[in-house]
Chains A and B, each alone.
Chain A
Amino acid sequence: QVQLQESGPGLVKPSQTLSLTCTVSGGSISSGGYYWSWIRQHPGKGLEWIGYIYYSGSTYYNPSLKSRVTISVDTSKNQFSLKLSSVTAADTAVYYCARGYSGYDYYFDYWGQGTLVTVSS
């Protein structure tokens, strides 16, 4: 059973960089076939796809966030990470990491529990 767990600061100051890490257990990022993903949910709102990374390092980002987002992978630690720069209060959200599949099927089958990140001074 694949499990994902987000970690990182719950409070970030405006204009700084939000940094989160997702640790994967029960499966290897290096095994391929899946896209390791970040998704967020603003308080009381819907889900927003941020982007994902393949184990090879290929990345795909939401065009609306692309200029501020970096997703990286550390296969030796079976982790992947999110960096979102120049944050504002509008980036306050629950951030989820998830395992994704992209083909004619497209889905996220395993999710972390989510971590609330608040942007405030």
Chain B
Amino acid sequence: DVVMTQSPLSLPVTLGQPASISCSSSQSLVHSDGNTYLKWFQQRPGQSPRRLIYKVSNRDSGVPDRFSGSGSGTDFTLKISRVEAEDVGIYYCMQGTHWPGTFGQGTKVEI
């Protein structure tokens, strides 16, 4: 299985300041169809995961534009340009290129 490794696992943040989470995969996530199936999810306390980003950098509808995704191959990043209080939670990357889909360990973002 593809191993997804996130860092850091805990991220203290300051309101209004930027934050960044890294995710690396044990093999390239470029699919044979040319797409890279890397997603980011946010899980607020007591809630289901919510998809924020798909195919590396595509923001889902309703996701604030302070969230952005980037990267290629095996290294990916989720950035929050200015952290707001509602961004507290755990963030997971997930690859869907190789079967089975695998998640990172999660990064806990706290103020």
Do A and B actually bind?
Answer: no
Binding site for A on B (CB under 8 A): none
